[in-house]
Amino acid sequence: MPDHALTPERIIAAAEETLRRFGPAKATVVDVARALGVSHAAVYRHFPSKTALREAVTSAWLSGVRQPLEEVRAGSGRPAAPLLREWLTVLAHQKRDRALRDPELFATYVALVGESSGAVEAHVSELVADLTGIIAAGVEQGVFRVADAGTAARALLNATSPFHNPAYAEAWSRPSFEQDLQDVLDLLLRGLS
Amino acid sequence: MPDHALTPERIIAAAEETLRRFGPAKATVVDVARALGVSHAAVYRHFPSKTALREAVTSAWLSGVRQPLEEVRAGSGRPAAPLLREWLTVLAHQKRDRALRDPELFATYVALVGESSGAVEAHVSELVADLTGIIAAGVEQGVFRVADAGTAARALLNATSPFHNPAYAEAWSRPSFEQDLQDVLDLLLRGLS
């Protein structure tokens, strides 16, 4: 590939592939450049350090997690209670599906995300903001009653984290996953109303 | 120590000390016997294998976790709602306090518990049974309304697990731990009533 055809998106895609192949401990910028057929200087023109490239990969992955949640919310004049249940269910399913489909790649991303606490905090803040919006809409619709929508949003995310926080990924293949999730959501939704 | 003075309790205490000193990968029955000043044959008379001894240590630790919960429930003609909040708070505090006080020993126990899935299942079943009893009492008192107390108990344990499941121990030193816990309990208790 000629250097001028190189875009950040292509570099990120190649970095993902390299991480998948070599694992997070070993993948280097030189490996990424080699996979793209460009010089490592060309990669450094877009990402000034290995750390910067890894953070871009992490952000891309976290955005990928959030995108289907955005789709759930899109065009939502929908009632808040089923919307909230769907949003939290999609969050859980997505994480579980990624973890079960390719456990090694999932572990790689979890390791990367762990390196960059800023990216995690930003991601969690976005999720809390999304949830706060859904809860506030429910309060307006008269279906939820909470003292503070932001506090309720953080509590919801904490209480459902066994179903979406990678620290729990080992337990996601259990047969009762879906029933356990819906039982927790039943209780939480009753708590909001 | 003469062999005849050897009790299971003394062996378990010495095994805990040995595990603390050498770590779970290295601690052997010979180390335990040496710490007690007895032959390893004497230890094997009480515990037929290293695995049996480790399981006894694990069970003793899990019983230790449950004991303060029993004290919370003891003499409980108390109203179910504050009792439930206290029970779940004590469960969380205990785990957090053990993890923060001696992180290495905590990690040792977590590793041991992970080896013996039967002990974990039995422990979780006991916790679910305790919670089911508290919820059923609340239904009788007219303060809780649930379709099935056992289902609600499992949901409560799942929803609070970020505060007591060791998979999350890394996050237990955060300053917002207590507020986060109480916010989740507020939501769950409202969900039960």
For position B94, what pLDDT does the model report?
A: 93
A86 and A160 within one domain: yes
A43 and A64 within one domain: no
A80 in a domain, yes or no?
A: yes
**Distance from the A169 Cα atom to the nearest Cα atom in chain B, whole angstroms:** 10
**Distance from the B160 Cα atom to the nearest Cα atom in chain A, whole angstroms:** 6
For position A103, what pLDDT does the model report?
A: 85
A100 and A36 within one domain: no
Calculate the alpha carbon distances from B62 to A153, B57, B122 in Å: 33, 9, 10
> Domain holding A16: CATH number?
1.10.10.60
B80 and B159 within one domain: yes
CA gyration radius, chain B? 19
For position A173, what pLDDT does the model report?
A: 95
**DSSP string for B93-112:** HHHHHHHHH-HHHHHHHHHH
Q: Does B121 touch chain A (CB under 8 A)?
A: no
B2 has a pLDDT exceeding 70: no
A151 and A110 within one domain: yes
State the count of interchain CB pairs (< 8 A) between A and B: 74
Calculate the alpha carbon distances from B45 to A57, B11, B17, B81 in Å: 57, 11, 20, 48
A53 in a domain, yes or no?
A: no
Q: Which of B7, B6, B25, B24 is nearest to B16 (CA)?
A: B24
Contacting residues for B57 by C-beta, under 8 A, at least 6 apart: B12, B15, B16, B19, B112
B126 and B89 within one domain: yes
The beta-carbon neighbor of B188 closest among A154, A180, A187 is: A187
For residue B42, count other CB atoms closer than 10 A to its CB: 18
Residue in the structure block whose two tokens are 């930003």 = A122
CA distance A16 to A54: 9
B8 in a domain, yes or no?
A: yes
Residue in the structure block whose two tokens are 């993890």 = B99
For residue B114, the chain A residues in CB contact (below 8 A) are none
For position A109, what pLDDT does the model report?
A: 84
For position A167, what pLDDT does the model report?
A: 87
Q: Which of A10, A20, A48, A44 is nearest to A30 (CA)?
A: A44
Q: What is the pLDDT of residues B50-109, one digit of tens each?
A: 888 888 888 888 888 889 999 998 866 789 999 999 999 999 999 999 999 988 888 888
For position A21, what pLDDT does the model report?
A: 84
For position B16, what pLDDT does the model report?
A: 87
Q: Does A57 touch chain B (CB under 8 A)?
A: no
A54 in a domain, yes or no?
A: no
Q: What is the pLDDT of residues B9-37, one digit of tens each?
A: 999 999 988 888 887 777 788 999 999 99
B146 and B183 within one domain: yes
Parent domain of A33: 3-48
**Chain A, nearest residue to B158 by Cα:** A162
A138 in a domain, yes or no?
A: yes
For position A102, what pLDDT does the model report?
A: 84
CA distance A52 to A31: 15
Give the DSSP H/E element, type plus range, for residue A105: helix A103-115
Contact B26, B15 (CB under 8 A): no
> Domain holding A160: CATH number?
1.10.357.10
A77 and A36 within one domain: no
ipTM value of the model?
A: 0.86
Task: For residue B154, give the amino acid letter.
Answer: R
Contacting residues for B35 by C-beta, under 8 A, at least 6 apart: B14, B17, B18
A171 and A90 within one domain: yes
Q: Structurally, how many domains does chain A consist of?
A: 2
B134 in a domain, yes or no?
A: yes
B107 and B158 within one domain: yes
**Would you give per-residue pLDDT tens digits along chain A (193 residues)?**
666 688 999 999 999 888 888 877 777 889 999 999 999 899 999 999 888 888 888 888 888 888 999 999 886 678 999 999 999 999 999 999 999 998 888 888 888 887 777 778 888 999 999 999 999 999 999 999 999 999 999 999 999 999 999 889 989 999 999 999 999 999 999 999 9
- Output DSSP code: residue A164: T
For position A74, what pLDDT does the model report?
A: 86
CB contact under 8 A, B188 and A188: yes
B78 and B10 within one domain: no
B60 in a domain, yes or no?
A: no
CB contact under 8 A, A165 and B168: yes
Higher-confidence residue: A13 or B4? A13
For residue A2, count other CB atoms closer than 10 A to its CB: 8
Q: What is the pLDDT of residues B101-153, one digit of tens each?
A: 988 888 888 888 877 777 888 889 999 999 999 999 999 999 999 999 999 99
For position A55, what pLDDT does the model report?
A: 85
B54 in a domain, yes or no?
A: no
B27 and B101 within one domain: no
